[in-house]
Chain A
Amino acid sequence: MNRKFVLAHAWLTGGAALRSNWLYMLTGMGFPLSLLFIVGVLSEGSLLPYALAGGLISIVASNGIFTMADLGMFKFEYMFKDLIVATRTSPMDYMFGVMLADFFWSIPSVVLYFIMDYAFHILTPYAFVMTLVVASLVLLATASLGFVLTSLVKHQRFVWAITGMLSLVMMTFPPTFYPYTYLPKDILWALVILPTTPGAVLEQGFFGLGHTMWSMFAVLVAETIILFLIAKYLTVWRER
């Protein structure tokens, strides 16, 4: 792995971008915080802990999905991908570089959520550690999905369309803002195809809001491995 490139990309395009345009960071926080507000108001606060637990997954997933938007910009607007293909940097180095750069944008939101989790007395050391594990898996799974899809599309306008659809599907249907027990079991299991579903279900367990379904952990690990392998082997890097 070309760690020099991964770290340079993360810092130079993520850190630098955050410094030069920190307002854009608020856009990333907008959707999860708005849903948190709506859920909190409509449930008169009773579902707020669920939304706080799932919101973290929502932020990380949206981060992974928006990796696709950046990959599209780098591919179609800046021709940066073409520049990189002709170096010894591998597709996976490139994917990790862009994924970590985008993660810079999420750090303030993640910190804010942890603070709110603490304020609502649902954050424990165990929940904190397990959240980091689950969030990392969700981030890798969604970024891998975005990476493959970007390599297949022919124009940036498709990237915007796909990211819009994926955001909607990944963050609205899974139980990221409501108890997973509200869903009939067969629908819950149908939704596990989206990595945010096992992520959100696990989070509710780790935060003491429901039973920890370890089967969901196995599903999430399997999905992450499959999506990562698809990204590694099916991504169009050197064109044919």
Chain B
Amino acid sequence: MIEVSALRKRYSDGTVALNNVSFKLDKKISAIIGRNGAGKTTLMKILSTQLMPTSGNAKINGLDVISEADSIRKIAVSIPQEARPVDYMPAMDCVKLYLAARGFGPKRARAAAEKALRTVGLGDAMDKVAYELSGGMKRKVFVAMAIASDADVIFLDEPTTGLDPFSRVEVWSAIRAIKGQIILTTHYMEEAQALAEDVMMIDSGKIFAHGTVDSLLKPFAGLVRVESSKKSRSSYRIGNTWISYMKKSTAKSLVGKDDVIKPVTLDDLFIKRGVNLES
């Protein structure tokens, strides 16, 4: 269980990355969604004891991130954004080295690494050096580290960024094999929808929506998204596209030839907030 209260992070250059954030996460998989620079990585770094907060407090399974960091490090795993396995090391050695850092002896590390690499589908590639692995396989090496650690809480910072759709689905399946509570950050809405029971949306260091996918989409019940090149009443602008929400039946009769009707997704919470995810 993750409990955060009035957490704030101000960097030395004055940037406020987190602004009095409070929440509780207790589901098996929770996703934190936000665009680049929203504060996701700062939050993950504080929760996984890599970064000190400016004020406020956070607890991981009842342990304080400031005063009980060492105990948290025993029960939690953090896989950083853009982490890469060391190029010249085989996948097996990468996992073994990480497990050694967590205090595993050589025999236990080997057995756990082998089992985890097989679980994520790298059974045939465990002796390949990292530079021979595809992008998806490299990410799976890190998921294998999380699985092999057998930790209670796992922080995954943008685990599928930069991967092709096929590799992403493969990594999702590997993530589902992790036993502990997972907190992952992403800017892919479909990833949050596919994996998480609990979704938290963050923008400019503030959480503006938190709940299950269904509860977050409740305000859009019965509506579709209409993308048009022309401005209409109560529409939101993303680049040269105007977006509005209406009932499916109304949309079908109103829209022009060039307009596009799409189902509502979590993206639309950001759109209504005026946040351009691609900016």
Q: Is the CB of A83 within 8 A of B86?
A: no
Knowing A9-B97, A12-B97, A238-B69, the reply to whether A20 touches B88 (Cβ < 8 A) is yes
Q: Mark B66-88, 1 if CB is under 8 A from A, else 0.
A: 00011001101111111111101
> CB < 8 Å: which of B52, B100, B155 contacts A9?
B100
Q: Which positions in B face A, CB cutoff 8 Å?
A: 45, 48-52, 69-70, 73-74, 76-86, 88-90, 93, 96-98, 100-106, 109, 129, 145, 155
CB contacts under 8 Å to B, within A214-240, are 238-240
Assembled-state Cα–Cα distance A150/B83 (Å): 18
Q: Is the CB of A88 within 8 A of B73?
A: yes
Q: Mark A1-18, 1 if CB is under 8 A from B, else 0.
A: 010110111001100110
Q: Is the CB of B106 within 8 A of A8?
A: yes
Helix, strand, loop or mixed for chain A's interface?
Answer: helix
Contact partners of A5 in chain B: CB under 8 A: 97, 100-101, 103
Q: Is the CB of B88 within 8 A of A86?
A: no
> CB < 8 Å: which of A4, A238, A239 contacts B104?
A4
Knowing A82-B80, A83-B78, A87-B73, the reply to whether A8 touches B85 (Cβ < 8 A) is no
Assembled-state Cα–Cα distance A240/B45 (Å): 11
Q: Is the CB of A16 within 8 A of B88?
A: yes
Helix, strand, loop or mixed for chain B's interface?
Answer: mixed
Which residue in chain A gives the minimum CB-CB distance to B100?
A8
Q: Is the CB of B77 within 8 A of A86?
A: yes
Assembled-state Cα–Cα distance A13/B94 (Å): 9
A133 at the interface (CB under 8 A from B): no
Q: Given contacts A8-B101, A82-B83, could you give 5 more A-B pairs where the C-beta distance is less than 8 Å?
A: A2-B100, A78-B84, A85-B50, A88-B102, A239-B51
Knowing A12-B93, A239-B52, the reply to whether A80 touches B104 (Cβ < 8 A) is no
Q: Is the CB of A238 within 8 A of B49?
A: yes
Q: Is the CB of A86 within 8 A of B50?
A: yes
Chain A CB count within 10 A is highest, among B48, B70, B86, B129, for B86
Contact partners of A83 in chain B: CB under 8 A: 78-80, 83, 98, 101, 145
Assembled-state Cα–Cα distance A74/B50 (Å): 16
Closest Cβ of chain B to A98, distance in Å, is 12
A107 at the interface (CB under 8 A from B): no
A21 at the interface (CB under 8 A from B): yes
Q: Is the CB of A20 within 8 A of B100?
A: no
Closest Cβ of chain B to A91, distance in Å, is 12
Chain B CB count within 10 A is highest, among A4, A17, A20, A240, for A4
Top-4 shortest CB links A-B: A8-B100, A86-B78, A79-B83, A82-B80
Closest Cβ of chain A to B38, distance in Å, is 19
Assembled-state Cα–Cα distance A228/B105 (Å): 27
Q: Is the CB of A239 within 8 A of B50?
A: yes
Task: Show 18 A/B contacts (Cβ-Cβ < 8 Å), sorted by A.
Answer: A2-B103, A4-B105, A8-B101, A9-B100, A16-B93, A79-B84, A82-B50, A83-B78, A83-B79, A83-B80, A83-B101, A86-B48, A86-B50, A86-B76, A86-B155, A88-B70, A238-B69, A240-B52
Closest Cβ of chain A to B86, distance in Å, is 6
